[in-house]
Structure 1
Amino acid sequence: MISFFSRGVGALLRGIWRAWLLIVPLVLALSLVRLGQLAYFWPTGFNVPASDVAMMAFQGLRFDLKVSAIAGVLLLLVLPWVSGRVNVRIGATVVFLYVMLSLVNLHYFGFYKTPIDSLVFGLMEDDTSAVLHTIWHDFPVIFTLLLGLALSAATVALQHLLLKRLNPDTILQTRHVALKLSCVVIAFFALIFAGKGTLREMALQRQHITVTTSQFLNDMVPNGVIALKYAWDSRGLSQNLQNPLAGLRTMGFDSPMAAAEVLGLPHHNEAEVKAALSAHAALPAGTPKKNLVFFLMESWSAEPMLYQGPKFDVLGRLAPTLDTACHFSNFDSAHGGTHPSLEAILFSTPITPLTLGDVGRKPIPWAIAQVARQAGYKTLFVSSVRSGWRDLNRVLKVQGFDEVVDANTLKEAYPDAELGLWGVWDTYVFKYLSKRLAAQPVDKPIFVFVLTSTNHPPYDLPRDYQRVPRDMSLWRGETSSEFLQMNLDSYHYAADLLGGFVQDVQKGPQKDRTIIAATGDHNVRSFGVYAEPQRRYLVRQVPFVIWGAGASCGPQRALPASHRDMFSTLFPLAGIDGQYINAGRDLLRSNVSPDDPVNAPRAMFFTGEARNDQGIWQLGNKSSFVCSSAQKPAANCQFNALDDQQERARFGLLDWNVRVSLKKQSAIAPQSLER
């Protein structure tokens, strides 16, 4: 038995040893392809600091190690048990596949100016023979194959040399079983962590490709394997938009006309319905165009604001600004995640992810930034995160933003900024905004969309941040999370920065021509699960606050509302007109009829939930209704079938608008290598 166990342990160690002796030369080969790609495509006159190039090369090396180690882990199913000759053949196959994918990525970058993305799957979706003919005609296919074979042969030769010099079978013969077992454990976990790409932080992901302010260098980071993997992910995440009625039918409607009729909208034909979705009352003549600065604050929940006070300060400098603001205190997010909420706000879409694939590379006409730019605004996206996250660096520029300022840009502008897990501290976002807004010409209004990130696990804060003592007995929410107090500190940090920015603007020359608005992307998970019915209404709640000279807040501040209502409110206030979608209602209107289905005081969560002043429910599911309200629920609290029907109609029409519009757009501009 001991002998059998010893042989088994020895075989495992031999397999892990072989895996590592494959990984080392494979990483070198992939890095060599990257350096060749960098040299081959280096633009004439292009100058960047050597430190940026080194950072790119190092990050690329980490991704090379990641994909190579993953291959090594998978090969552990066979490597311990095969002969040396078979081991070399397996290694040669893996090496050739990896090297060729990176060479394909090189040519793909040369054609599309981007690493492999979801468009690569056009090989199967288009006229395959025509695409292959184009590839044969336009690319050095034979040379690339020969180069791939040469690099693979050199890599396999190095692997063979390492196997010969460090023969695992010879080494294992004289080792005790306990030592062998220890080596198995150590080498195996080393392999696992290599596949993760890091020891301390989260595993290497798509956002980690963005390491400099140079898009060119960032594009050099991914090898062919990881680029293809992310392309596959994007393809899977992108929705099939070929059936425009899919969402409507899920909501119980056979046509957009049927849904429009429920909402009292024009509904004679599809064109009339579509026009009604973007029809707005004309702005008064002479309405000035004001700067609009909008903040999507990471994890900015509504609940802490309920307990704000001298002994429980979670707002800092933001607290005194609320006296002159329009604070909508019964307000829900569109989604429970940052990117889905971002898409819902920018594109009025319940379909998400929408822009990770091909859709994100074509302008969406009703995108918020597109509307602002067409209205004469300079459009700017500013964030403390790396814009490579969810491909934002590419998507946002296509969707109407003139500039994208991210963690790398801020690091370049402020060399003392530390790059953390998610990016730089939010402090630098507000520094940049203050400087940028002060320099904006009076005759050119600006629209700024800001995404913060510091108020996010692991709730790290700058070293110089002074934590505020709080009487935790004043916290009336749930206390089960061990991160509650850390989260409240990071919440205070972000809110205080926002308050400082608002105060500076209100005291400065831009005061009368600037609207500032802020909301949270979603509730904070550490604040509780909200299982109790009386607290259930808080589960999606985030603040929505507007600061602006002359803003009349009206009677809707305590009524249910949500993300879908924000730009229907902000654009008229800022003097922006255009073809944006009437996703919600204008929260500053004072003459709203309770019988108007389009302007009814309800909130919608874009996963298919709605909330009125009595409770919350899943659309179309009467049994899901829970009585829960910021006010004491009425004695006759119950499911309202009419509310449900109208909210299903609104949800279905928003879904239909995206599908029918983008399906037509795809038909006009088909994916192809010949585009």
Structure 2
Amino acid sequence: MWFYRFRQALIALLLPWLLAVITQSAGRLYLLLTYGTPEALNGFGMDIKRMFWIGGLFDIRITSLLFVPCLLIAGLLAISSRSFQCWQRFWPWLAAILSTIVTTVTVGNIFYYATYERAIDIFVFGLVEDDTAAVLATMWHDYPVIRGLLSLALFAAIIFWLYRRWQRRLSAKPERKINLPISAISTLVILAVCFVGMRGSIGTFPLRQSDGQVSEVKMLNMLTPNGLIAFNWAFKAHSEDNTFADATDEQGEALLSRFLDKPTAASLTPFSARTDVNPLAKSNPPNVVLAVMESMGYHLESYDRPDRDLFGALRQHWLTDWRFERFISEGDGTIDTLNRFFVRSPMSGISQSSAQALDFDSNMFKPYLANGYKIIFVTSGNGSWRNLNQFLPRLGVSEFMEQNGLKKRYPQAHMSTWGIPDEYMFRYMEERLAEADKKGEHILIMSMSTTHHPPYKTPDGYQKTNIQLTDAEKKRLSNLASGDELQEVMHTLRYANDQLGQFISWVKSQPLGGHTIIAATGDHNVRGIGYQDTHELVLGHAVPFYLYVPQAYRDHSHFDAARVGSHKDIWPTLYQLSLSDTPYYRTGCNLLAEKLDDIWCQGYNPEAVITPQGAYILTGKGEFRPWAANKGLLLGDPQTMTPEQEKQFNRWGAFTDLLWWQLNRQVHGQK
């Protein structure tokens, strides 16, 4: 009788198991049909089939991991008729809960992909590590929360009713004995199938994260894992994000030798560099401002037209000062970018990690501190976000101004989801520069704006302009927003640009403008636009790099707008402009050098490296794509690499691991 009950439990659980697999596969199909375009997927039919096959195996694996333990519990309870009756009453509740979880995470993964163009990853923990209230407010604004919760409750009720009906139908059949040999063999077969299902594979290893790489098309790789397995990977990555691996000599020697293209011993010495002698900077140190602008991406900026002003007061400076357009962010999230700016950390959570109090050799403020600069950090957002108010003072930031301090200083400022309007941040920066000039201080101000961030809303009283988009442009941006929300995206972009422009205009109008250098860039491109076309692989990371350098400080600078770069090159460029004969930690190059450094120059993002000729795509199978035109960031079709290109691809393929090695080396105190 035991096997009959065990088999009934198996048949009962097959229904929720099958529905869970179908739900996750349906989520994958929905994403493909919604965000995949014929142009981007043309010629990748086999990859699509592989995506569904491997994705289906992931669905089977995660579903088996949920329901096989339920079956094993049922098997134990099947020994007794009374205990098995308790199981029959209980399992519909359990199955309904598990089915609701699967559905919830699947839908969550769909929305996550719609926002970030990737499956759930480590950044999902920003819900609790970012400003939680602000994140929840953004979700409330951007997603149908009430409708979703009601739909979820209705789904749970329906699915519970279905499982109870299913159990009643099974219970109506009378129990009957099955002979022992058949019972034993059947039990072994069932357990073997369950074991294979939980592994997702009959090979040496169970189905792993590396198996999710099925194509050179990023989208297909992102759709392969289901929401639950992706969340599991994210959880593991988050758990390990506070773990610093041992930076061995063997690993360091291999990575350094590969990147520097010559035998190199394992140490941090190759990262040591020194600025040129700069007599003017030594006798009259300039003020330096680095403005990091929320979501100042190259793509949306390109929608500007003479009759569609997206720049406001920034336009005149944008057109006349120095600006690099073939430029990419190194990080693809705000905190990822900032921590790379602060200490050259590829670990996005370094400011919250056990290493947050470390005296980093790679502290990018150190060269200015060594020259007597006062370091000021200003943000229109919350200072406790990602522990910045604790982390930055340890790096030498002596003045930390954030939304609460700005609100106290400017009571008329209205607090919104992510902070106060950027204009108050820039007003404070103006006042602080004027104060420094009066006191004879030389200061470095680094700022982080927040207004151009979802939920998009221009400050009350800001005079909006008429921004009319064509139908084709609206269609291209439909994944980001539509209707009034898309208009507000454009208005907040113009607002942020306009406030930056007004700040630059003020600096130039003051005597201090003759000794103040201003740099501006975006923290990352606007997320959610969608870049599935392989010709847009670089465009998804594109941000501008703007420079205002007073005439007196331009000696020995060679500006060439055609040069390529990335965030790693901003500090070395500013060091050379503003410091004299000063050591610094080098992981990038001076973009204004007469001759660019062959080793450290090129624009780097963990997914792509850009060169004057094109881009090396570091993800997938790896390839080189030339630029599609003399200007812009669209790529042409992949081409066979020359031996020199193979060497460069190999070098930059080691750079991400090299950044991790140097960070771990510092954390472990190995000199």
TM range (shorter): 0.5 to 0.7
Please say if residues 336 and 523 of structure 1, whose CA atoms lie closer than 8 Å, have aligned partners that are also in contact. yes
SS in 2 for 1:402: strand
Between 1:301-310 and 1:653-662, the stretch displaced more is: 301-310
Any idea what SS the aligned residue of 2:541 has? coil
Does residue 648 of the first structure (1) align with residue 653 of the second (2)? yes
Structure 1 residues 266, 346: closer, same or farther in 2, change over 3 A?
farther
1:59-74 matches, cutoff 5 A: none
Which piece of structure 1 moves more, 529-538 or 621-630? 621-630
Task: State the match for 1:590 in structure 2.
Answer: 594
Q: Is the 8 A contact 1:385 1:422 kept in 2?
A: yes
Aligned to 1:242: 245
Please list the CA deviations of residues 226-283 of structure 1 after superposition, one character each: whole Å capped at 9, or x if unmatched: xxxxxx99983633223215xx9xxxxx533333334447755324xx2221222432
What's the counterpart of residue 353 of structure 1?
349
Sort the Cα spacing of 1:611 and 1:415 in 2 relative to 1 into closer, same or farther, 3 A: same
CA contact (8 A) 1:533 1:628 kept: no
Q: Which of 408, 412, 417 lines up with 1:416 in the alignment?
A: 412
C-alpha distance in structure 1 between counterparts of 2:560 and 2:344, whole Å: 21
Is the 2:519–2:546 contact (alpha carbons within 8 Å) kept by the matching residues of 1?
yes
CA contact 1:260–1:653 (8 Å) conserved in 2: yes
**Is contact 1:384-1:425 (8 Å) kept?**
yes
Q: Would the alpha carbon gap of residues 474 and 400 (structure 1) be closer, same or farther in structure 2, given more than 3 Å must change?
A: farther
| Offset at residue 630 of structure 1 (A) | 5.3
Q: Show the counterpart of 2:509.
A: 507
Alpha-carbon distance in structure 2 between the residues aligned to 1:542 and 1:492: 16
Residue type of the alignment partner of 2:523: D
Q: Is the 8 A contact 1:335 1:605 kept in 2?
A: yes
Asked whether the 8 Å contact 2:608–2:619 carries over to 1, the reply is no
The equivalent of 2:447 in structure 1 is 450
Contact 2:531 2:540 in 1 (8 A): yes
Change (3 A) 1:614 1:416: same
Change (3 A) 1:206 1:306: closer
Deviations 1:491-527 (A, max 9, x none): 100000000000110110111110000000001124x
- TM-superposed deviation, 1:462: 1.1
User: Is the counterpart of residue 370 in structure 1 residue 366 in structure 2?
Assistant: yes
Q: Could you report, residue by residue, the CA deviation over 1:524-555 in whole angstroms, capped at 9, with x for unpaired residues?
A: 124x2122233332110011101011237635
Summarize the alignment of residues 518-597 of structure 1 with structure 2, pairs less than 5 Å apart. 518-526=520-528, 528-550=529-551, 551=554, 554=558, 556-575=560-579, 578-592=582-596, 596-597=598-599
Name the counterpart of 2:95: none
- 1:479 aligned residue: 477
1:342, 1:233 → 2: CA distance?
23
Structure 2 counterpart of 1:61: none
Q: Which amino acid aligns with 2:526?
A: V
Q: CA deviation at 1:290?
A: 0.8
Is structure 2 residue 443 aligned with structure 1 residue 460? no
Q: Contact 2:507–2:513 at 8 Å: present in 1 too?
A: yes
Question: In structure 1, what is the Cα distance between the partners aligned to 2:466 and 2:494?
Answer: 11
* Structure 2 residue identity aligned to 1:541: A
For residues 204-283 of structure 1, what are the structure 2 equivalents within 5 Å? Answer: 205-206=128-129, 208=131, 236=239, 238-245=241-248, 254-264=250-260, 267-271=263-267, 274-283=268-277
SS at match of 1:447: strand
Instruction: Answer yes or no: is the 8 Å Cα contact 1:338–1:521 preserved in 2.
Output: yes
> Offset of 1:373 from its aligned partner?
1.6
Measure the CA separation in 1 of the matches of 2:126 and 2:527: 21
Q: Give distance in 1, aligned partners of 2:411 and 2:264.
A: 60
Query: 2:602 aligned with 1:605, yes or no?
Result: no
Asked if structure 1 preserves the Cα contact closer than 8 Å seen for 2:299 and 2:539, the reply is yes
Describe the superposition over 1:633-666 as per-residue Cα deviations: whole angstroms up to 9, x where unpaired: 679844432221121343333222111111117x
In 2, Cα distance between the equivalents of 1:538 and 1:635? Answer: 15
Give the corresponding residue for 1:11.
none
Whole-angstrom CA distance in 1 between matches of 2:274 and 2:639: 34
> What amino acid does structure 1 have at the position aligned with 2:397?
F
Unaligned runs of 5+ in 2: 1-124, 135-234
Q: 1:394-451: CA deviations, max 9, x gaps?
A: 0111111001100000011111111111111111101111111111046321001100
Q: Is the 8 A contact 2:625 2:639 kept in 1?
A: no
The 5 A counterparts of 1:386-401 are 386-401=382-397
DSSP-derived class of the 2:537 partner: helix
Does 2:660 match 1:661?
no
On the 8 A contact 1:571/1:577 being kept in 2, the answer is no
SS in 1 for 2:351: coil
Aligned 8 A contact 1:234 1:357 in 2? no
* 1:130-172 CA-partner distances (Å, limit 9, x unpaired): xxxxxxxxxxxxxxxxxxxxxxxxxxxxxxxxxxxxxxxxxxx
Contact 1:557 1:587 in 2 (8 A): no
* Contact 2:413 2:424 (8 Å CA) reproduced: yes
Which residue is 1:174 aligned to?
none
Equivalent pair of 1:384/1:424 in contact (CA under 8 Å)? yes
| Secondary structure, aligned partner of 1:463 | coil
Distance 1:369 1:555, change over 3 A: closer
Q: TM-score, normalised by structure 1?
A: 0.59
Instruction: Show the 5 A alignment for 1:34-183.
Output: none
Rounded Cα–Cα distance in structure 2 between residues aligned with 1:293 and 1:497: 15
Note the C-alpha offset of 1:575: 1.7
- Paired with 2:306 and 2:354, the residues of 1 have a C-alpha distance of 51
- Tell me how far apart the structure 1 counterparts of residues 487 and 472 of structure 2 sit (CA, whole Å): 10
Structure 2 CA distance for partners of 1:337 and 1:428, relative to 1, 3 Å: same
**Distance in structure 1 (CA, Å) of the matches to 2:297 and 2:404:** 27
Aligned with 1:570: secondary structure?
helix
Paired letter, 1:603: G
| Segment drifting more, 281-290 vs 390-399 | 281-290
Q: Distance between the aligned counterparts of 1:206 and 1:657, measured in 2?
A: 25
Match for residue 298 of structure 1? Answer: 294
Question: Any conservation in 2 of the 1:378–1:444 contact (CA below 8 Å)?
Answer: yes
- Distance in 1, matches of 2:236 and 2:414, equals 30
Q: 1:329 aligns with which of 320, 325, 334?
A: 325
**Partner amino acid, structure 1, of 2:618:** L
1:564 CA displacement? 0.7
Match of 1:534, SS state, is helix
Structure 1 residue matching 2:584: 3-state secondary structure: coil
TM-score by length of structure 2 reads 0.59
Contact 2:377 2:399 in 1 (8 A): yes
The structure-2 alpha-carbon separation of the partners of 1:536 and 1:619, relative to structure 1 and needing over 3 Å to count, comes to closer
Match of 1:498 in 2: 500
CA RMSD of aligned residues (A): 3.1
C-alpha change, 1:634 and 1:605, in structure 2 (3 Å) is closer
Q: What SS does the aligned partner of 1:287 have?
A: helix
Q: Which amino acid aligns with 1:479?
A: L
Unaligned runs of 5+ in 1: 1-201, 212-231, 249-253, 668-675
Q: Quick check: 1:318 aligned with 2:314?
A: yes
Output the CA distance in 1 between the equivalents of 2:338 and 2:126: 23
Determine the C-alpha separation between the residues in 1 that align with 2:274 and 2:471: 45
In structure 2, the CA distance between the partners of 1:305 and 1:388, relative to structure 1 (3 Å rule), is same
- Rate the CA distance shift 1:244–1:424 in 2: closer, same or farther, 3 A: same
Superposed CA offset, 1:608-639 (max 9, x none): 43233454444375445555555376798444
Q: What percent of counterpart residues are identical?
A: 26
How far is the alpha carbon of 1:203 from its aligned partner?
Answer: 11
| CA–CA distance in structure 2, aligned partners of residues 573 and 531 of structure 1 | 39
Contact 1:301 1:543 in 2 (8 A): yes
Q: State whether residues 617 and 626 of structure 1, in contact with CA within 8 Å, keep that contact through their aligned partners in structure 2.
A: yes
CA distance in 2, matches of 1:260, 1:579: 20
User: Aligned partners of 1:493 and 1:577: how far apart in 2?
Assistant: 39
Do the aligned partners of residues 557 and 476 (structure 1) sit closer, same or farther apart at CA in structure 2, a change above 3 Å counting?
farther
- State whether residues 614 and 638 of structure 1, in contact with CA within 8 Å, keep that contact through their aligned partners in structure 2: no
